Amino acid sequence: MGIAPKKSKFSWNEYFSDKKDGGHRHSTEEFLNKEAKEKLLHLDGGTSLLDFGCGAGELLIYYAPCYEMVVGVDFSPSMLDEARRKVAVNKYDNVCLIKADDKTVWNEVSSLFDRITTTEVLQYLTFEQIDSFIETASKYLNNDGKIVFFDIIEPRSYVLWKIGFFSKRIHYLKVLPTIFVELFDYICASLSNSPKDIIGYSHNPYKIEKIANKYGFEMEYIRSIYYEYRYHAILSRKLPL
């Protein structure tokens, strides 16, 4: 995995403009179905869902039968085309797909949601963007609603994953050179103010929790079942004492 090009020449919007899948570990329906089941368990009901960064709809089509209304949002036209195709094949008439980004999305939706969710999206947002997303999302959330961020990259586990710590067999001889290359990539990325690699930014759970608390939410931290270096953050409104 190479270093993402310098920020000035690079935008995630452009990067995703011709992509057609979300890069899940396996692209089989069997795997996506299992991934969606884990997510539906944590979404834990509700009747209306906003799936921000829905991509090609690989999970959204599994959410659709469980909700009265599903709104999928993404800034990539190619991803949305794929999502539209899947929704049409499945004949879901409760799904609306919108082209927007983390700022413009709020001009496009008018109703409140029971659940606002993202999967593998926070890695493309800076802390400032996440802060602003949570602040505005909270205004579009029903009182007992939840914001559920799935599969955020955990910085410490990601480093371990990259050096092969979670592999079935660790190749100890490769660990040292890998650490060296990783360190070099990290320094270059920091100097050029770019995301460290094309997977985007990792975010410390304590920092996400701090933002959540600032806007009156408490955060539940859950390790992802299918990705060793990812976690979920479930934000529910703090109950009055």
Ligand X SMILES: C[S@@+](CC[C@H](N)C(=O)[O-])C[C@H]1O[C@@H](n2cnc3c(N)ncnc32)[C@H](O)[C@@H]1O
Residues that bind ligand X (CB under 6 A): 12, 16, 22-23, 53-55, 58-59, 74-76, 79, 101-102, 119-121, 124
Say how many C-beta atoms besides its own lie within 10 A of residue 208's C-beta.
22
| Choice between 129 and 237, CB closer to ligand X | 129
Token pair of 164 as six digits: 């092969």
Give dist(CA 77, CA 13) in Å, integer: 10
Residue closest to ligand X when measured from CB atoms: 55
**What is the closest distance, in whole angstroms, from the C-beta atom of residue 80 to ligand X in the complex?**
8
Q: CA–CA distance from 101 to each of 5, 13, 33, 179 (Å)?
A: 21, 9, 26, 35
We find the least distance from the C-beta atom of residue 24 to ligand X, in angstroms, to be 6
Closest CA to 200 of 148, 136, 127, 149: 127
Strand order in the sheet with 48-52: 95-99, 69-74, 48-52, 113-119, 141-153, 230-237, 217-223
Determine whether 50 is exposed, middle or buried from the number of CB atoms within 10 Å of its CB (0-12, 13-18, 19+).
buried
Q: Which is nearer to ligand X, 106 or 237 (CB)?
A: 106
* Min dist. Cβ of residue 179 to ligand X (A): 26
> Which residue number, 85 or 238, has a Cβ lying nearer to ligand X?
85
Q: How far is the CB of 135 from ligand X (least distance, A)?
A: 15
User: Considering beta carbons, is residue 68 or 108 the nearer one to ligand X?
Assistant: 108
CB of 87 to ligand X, least distance (A): 14
Q: Which of residues 31 and 237 has its CB atom nearest to ligand X in the complex?
A: 31
| Least distance (Å) between residue 128 CB and ligand X | 12
What Cα–Cα distance (Å) separates residue 1 from each residue in 65, 153, 196? 36, 15, 10
| Nearest-approach distance from CB 127 to ligand X, in angstroms | 14
| Residue 23 DSSP code | -
Q: Classify 73 as helix, strand or coil.
A: strand
Nearer to ligand X, 38 or 101 (CB): 101
The pair of structure tokens assigned to 4 is 């993402």
Q: Give the residue with the Cβ less far from ligand X, 32 or 212.
A: 32
**HEC per residue, 91-124:** CCCCEEEEECCCCCHHHHCCCCEEEEEEECCHHH
